[in-house]
Amino acid sequence: MSNGRKVIIAIACVAALCLVGLGAFLGIRSYNSKVYAEKINSGNRYYNAGDYANAVLAYQNAIKLNANGTEAYAGLARSYSAQGFDLLALEALQNGVSETGNIQLRVMLTGMENQDTDKAGTVRTNLNISLMQRIASMSYRDYAQVYAIETVSGTNNSVTVHVPEMGADLVFRNSALQPTAVRNGTVSPDAVPEEIHLDDISLLFGGQMPVSYDDLMQLNLEELLLMPPSAGQGYYVVSFIDEGCEVRVASDESGEIAAGAWNSIVPVNAIESAGGDDESDEEVEGIPCTGRIVSAVDGKAVDNVRIQFFPSDGSELVCDTVTDAIGNYTASLPAGQYKVILSRDGYIEEEQDLYIGAYSEQVFQDYTISPEIAMGEVRIVLSWGSTPRDLDSYLYGTADNGSDMYVSFTNKNCSGSDGPMASLDIDQTNGYGPETTTVYNPNGVYYFRVVDFNQTGFIGQSGATVTVYLPGQTPRVFQVSDGIMHENAWDVFVLDHGEIKPAEDLSDYVNMIYSNK
């Protein structure tokens, strides 16, 4: 046999072995995915039955099979917390965030590290993650497309604009990394603010002031420092890095930060990206976008949801993906504005908006999908950003039979003379939502209001959305506006015998008294 023929046969054998190995690998991966889902289901059953010890074992085994499984870490943390093992719960969430980067796990971790109230009833500090991520990803073009901006001042090399909806001044100026950010008093579309000044620093800290250096130490912030006054500066400065931004805030010598303090936020990652090599001919890859789809009724993950990403102008489909067995999805998308369509058998088709800033490194975006509803029912779903932490739904009014309607976190189920009237299905207290209310008897006049439980004054900047579902109708969507920026309540709509009527102010109808949780 010739040497050439021997080489060909050897190559063929190696190729065959590689194919066998690949097949075995894919088979093992498929098997692990199936077993992982079984472990999650087993853990959920144990948890719901109150058998937390076995739930812990099931979730731990799931993590061994898939270290990137967000639901396993969440379940493990809940199971530890139910047994009073708070340190173990924190460790589970910290490991989950480290392994997956999942935003929902991060929200849970922040919620455990910084409870809205401690045992003495003192409000704790939390950072406005949504705001930080927005600042870290947006160019001048992005701000101009998303917000109404106003030019405050400008020179040939520096321009300051104000964004009322954010309550912020953005300063664009030429620098070593951005030498052409401003040309003849005009800001380049790709320029990133050299610094951002918030009108009210309370927005960064969830509305809870004052904030101390000790409070911030509990957040495990990167490079947290308390610096003495520099030349000509009459105050100390607290500085730290988080979410790709460097934050500097004026304080007293003990590190206490007061409302209205001078502040500067520098999107350092975005500035470095903007100052990169513009001459590169490499094709720009899509930005990784991941998230989880949950049911509006019970907050549980929903598998096999089809997610389609279209440009906002309705042109050709950019990405089409499906959630896996535990509700997670992945996509790769260029920066820009998108219309997102969510669909699945047995669920109402959803349409959401998504904006990806030019300098986003990765996007974490969860969505809610609502099961189809029965005739005669109405479903109301509230969602928002990371701050304020706790928005509450209130539904109140009177049915035609004379029964009073009142549903909130203090009274989650309401019944009248004819049976169940409404219920609060989910009460979310750690940001984002969903918080869901179901109406079983729409025969009456009811009012729906959203209240900021901690009274931060920033409900107008929460990004809150209320979606109302009625059988056989297109969902009605209400978006909070910055017109109520300094308010703590948002009057959303009137439900009048199944008809939705927008309402900007219901104070003439009802004088609400809010109870403490």
- Structure confidence at residue 493 (pLDDT): 92
Tell whether 87 is covered by a domain.
Answer: yes
With 60 as the cut, is the pLDDT of residue 93 above it?
yes
Q: How far, in Å, are 162, 220, 339 from residue 201 at the CA level?
A: 15, 20, 32
Tell me the average pLDDT across 394-410.
90
Residues 262 and 292 in one domain: no
Which runs of E-coded beta strand occur in 271-386?
A: 287-295, 306-311, 319-322, 328-333, 336-343, 350-356, 363-364, 367-369, 378-383
- Structure confidence at residue 309 (pLDDT): 95
With 60 as the cut, is the pLDDT of residue 86 above it?
yes
- Structure confidence at residue 98 (pLDDT): 83
Range of the domain at 452: 287-502
With 90 as the cut, is the pLDDT of residue 189 above it?
yes
Residues 270 and 314 in one domain: no
Tell whether 431 is covered by a domain.
Answer: yes
For the chain, first and last CA: distance in Å? 86
Per the CB < 8 A criterion, the answer to whether 493 and 431 are in contact is no
Q: What is the pLDDT of residues 65-83, one digit of tens each?
A: 888 888 889 888 888 877 7
Q: What is the pLDDT of residues 436-478, one digit of tens each?
A: 999 999 999 999 999 888 888 888 888 899 999 998 888 999 9
- Structure confidence at residue 102 (pLDDT): 73
Choosing from 55, 80, 100, the residue where a domain stops is 100
Q: What is the pLDDT of residues 273-320, one digit of tens each?
A: 887 654 444 445 689 998 889 898 888 889 999 999 999 877 789 999
- Structure confidence at residue 31 (pLDDT): 53
Residues 368 and 305 in one domain: yes
Reference 268, options 141, 145, 359; nearest CA is 359
Give how many domains the chain has, as a whole number.
3
- Structure confidence at residue 379 (pLDDT): 95
- Structure confidence at residue 125 (pLDDT): 65
Tell whether 507 is covered by a domain.
Answer: no
Higher pLDDT, 511 or 221: 221
Choosing from 274, 300, 333, the residue where a domain stops is 274
Residues 381 and 488 in one domain: yes
pTM recorded for the entire structure: 0.69
Residues 388 and 247 in one domain: no
Find all residues with CB under 8 Å of 9, minimum gap 6, and list them.
none
Residues 83 and 147 in one domain: no
Tell me the average pLDDT across 382-393.
88
Q: What is the pLDDT of residues 208-255, one digit of tens each?
A: 788 888 888 887 788 999 999 987 788 899 999 998 999 999 999 999
pLDDT band of residue 511 (cuts 50, 70, 90) is very low
H or E segment to which residue 274 belongs: helix 268-274
Residues 226 and 189 in one domain: yes
What is the C-alpha to C-alpha distance for residues 15 and 8, in angstroms, rounded to an integer? 11
- Please tell me the least confidently modeled range out of 85-94, 133-142, 322-331, 350-359: 85-94
Residues 293 and 266 in one domain: no
Residues 313 and 360 in one domain: yes
With 70 as the cut, is the pLDDT of residue 351 above it?
yes
The torsion angle over the Cα atoms of residues 196, 200, 206 and 208, rounded to 10 degrees, is 140
Give me the CATH number covering residue 382. Answer: 2.60.40.1120
% of the chain surpassing 90 pLDDT: 36
Residues 353 and 484 in one domain: yes
Give me the CATH number covering residue 10. Answer: 1.25.40.10
Tell whether 350 is covered by a domain.
Answer: yes
Q: What is the mean pLDDT of the chain?
A: 82
Tell whether 207 is covered by a domain.
Answer: yes
Tell whether 108 is covered by a domain.
Answer: no
DSSP state of 434: -
- Structure confidence at residue 107 (pLDDT): 62
